[in-house]
Structure 1
């Protein structure tokens, strides 16, 4: 699993295969593509910025989602997050 803490930004730029989910306790987690996020649910209490791909992970929590980059991001998980959704670039 991956746990993001603190108010700063953490960028995941490569493909990751970790399992056990992702927790964003605070700050911003930036993923160039969904392949950077491993497998398992994403518990977001901060900001998740994602570039492109098919996000199959379940996204929940009070945090927000920001679509970045020129590609297409598809949300196919059982998402219940309550934060805002922003499309900075590309297609969601």
Structure 2
């Protein structure tokens, strides 16, 4: 039961990161109806992406931290540790 809960949490984290990446492609102003949702997603995912972004070398204008975190969550957490 705990393993299933952790698998669900990691899947939600991956979906939140993907949502953040997609939202970053569009300009969302403070008066937009999507602003509160976008702000919440950015705040939630920044706790995972921020440390990785600071540790990675610069890759020009590309932010590779979402790729690294998703790979970590998918490979290490779900496959090796939890065996989801």
TM-score (norm: length of structure 1):
0.23
Q: Which has the higher helix share?
A: 2
TM-score (norm: length of structure 2):
0.24
Q: Max radius of gyration: which structure?
A: 2
Query: Which has the higher relative contact order, 1 or 2, with Cα contacts under 8 A spaced 6 or more apart?
Result: 2
Q: Which has the higher strand share?
A: 1
